[in-house]
Structure 1
Amino acid sequence: MTELVREADRNSTIDGSIRPSVGDTSTTVTSPMTAGQLSQLHTAKRHREILRDYAQEFRQTKAKITANREREILLGSAYRETSVNNGDRTLSTIGVGNHRGQSTATRILLEEQDKYHRSNRMVDDHLTAASTIRATLRAQRIALRNASGGLHNLTARFPRIRQLIGKIDWRHRQDSIILGLVIACCIAFLLIYKLS
């Protein structure tokens, strides 16, 4: 923190030394000129423009460095708090919504980090659920394969069971055909109703 104070003092010193220099050049340029001082006038104008450009660039760079430093401090402290707690508490319980002394940029960064952590947790939950479903489907596939193998063994031993399974398959196909026809008729009636 003392480092930031020293840096701010140094920046204010640089700003203070630039402003009087700009003032001196402007008073020099506005004084009455003789014919021989025309080249000096041009040089002074050029130097003033260069000084103005450098001062503007200095202010922009100073603002960027300050913003980056604040962001680094903010994200570093938030990261340390969440890593210490091992993800037990979210940033909202640390105080994302209770920022009375903090700037809006700080608040926005904390809220953004909170959303990022929540989405990470949600993706992890979805991946865990997907792997569980995959394992369950794999177990069901093995169970169905074993059941169909057992049925094929039974049909090979007893021909009457083969006929029974054939009738069950025919009923299943018949139900599928009837269901398909009903759905096709419903769609046709819906299209006729929409077009008329």
Structure 2
Amino acid sequence: MATPSWDNARRHARALETALDSKLSTYSKLAATIARGGGSSKDQSSLEQEDGDGIGGYKLVEEEIEELLGKLEQAIDDLSTLINSPSQPPSASMQHAAQRHRDNLDDYRRDFIRTRGNVEQTIRRSNLLGSVRKDINDYKKATDSQTDALLQDRSRIDSSHRMIDDTLNQAYATREDFAQQRGLLSSIDSRMGGVLSQMPGINSLITAIRTRRRRDTLILGCVVGFCVILLLGYTFGF
């Protein structure tokens, strides 16, 4: 018949297994949630920052499971110690119970390692996707900046072209004004020539006036020269 120490050790092992079942179930749900969100832009740091029962709680659950596995292993070792105790001869049922607990421990460990591997793989994939998205966003930002710079340069060039066009238009308008003025002056000159040709006496009068002016200028020059000579002779006594 099993002793109270054996019964207590078995109850403790069963309690640990029940706790492990619950924690592994919670951990599996968290792993499934992480796997569904593996394609999102969250990386490992953002996952770990979420608390409670959310995605970020998987680290806390891992620690609790590892602690429970250690306690269950210690409880099974205690069962083995009781079985091998000289004061209590082991029975087949006790050995079978201890072996079943150890098999359960191995199953828990395999499930935990497999689930943790899936979680780590999902997080690595999420980190890789996040890094790729970051590179793409950085490239888009750089491309947008270059595009903005090119658009600004093009805007400045277009503004310069408009200024040049305005200047050319003003030059063309000025040239047209000069052409109109030249035509007007030519018309006036033609009219004056026509008037003079119709009045030949005016040409003769103008010619006589010019001749008399030249004669008066010559006479005045001679008088001035003669006066200067007289003044010099009077001054120097010759």
**TM-score scaled by length of structure 2:** 0.32
**TM-score scaled by length of structure 1:** 0.38
Q: Tell me which structure has the larger Cα radius of gyration.
A: 2
Highest RCO, 1 vs 2 (Cα 8 Å, sep ≥ 6): 2
